Amino acid sequence: MYGRLVQEGGYQILNSLKNGPVKISQLKANVPLYGDAFDFVLSQLMMNGLVRRFERDGEDYVEISEMGRNLPYQGYEAYQGYGYHGCGHHHHHGHWW
């Protein structure tokens, strides 16, 4: 369940950030994830090093990290190997990290 949420929500967030940094409040309004689901997916992307959060003029922003820019996430399938869902149900054996 969480793997699918991270997979689809993560792709939507990464796609929204492809043109540069975005205010978190604006990102929440543009990505169809709500409440805790948005926070969960964003934290998974940060934990995996794909996005970074920073503050500018009292506002919280996020942007794709260097590692995230080098990830070929243009297609839905390219994002499947990252995050919580990267093991178990996809014939991977081992830990999610």
With residues binned 3-state (H G I as helix, E B as strand, rest as coil), the percentages for the chain, rounded to 5, are 45, 15, 40
- 34-71 pLDDT, tens digit per residue, is 889 999 999 999 999 999 999 999 999 999 999 888 87
| Residue 6 in this model has a pLDDT that exceeds 60 | yes
Confidence (pTM)? 0.71
Q: What mean pLDDT comes out for the span 69-84?
A: 54
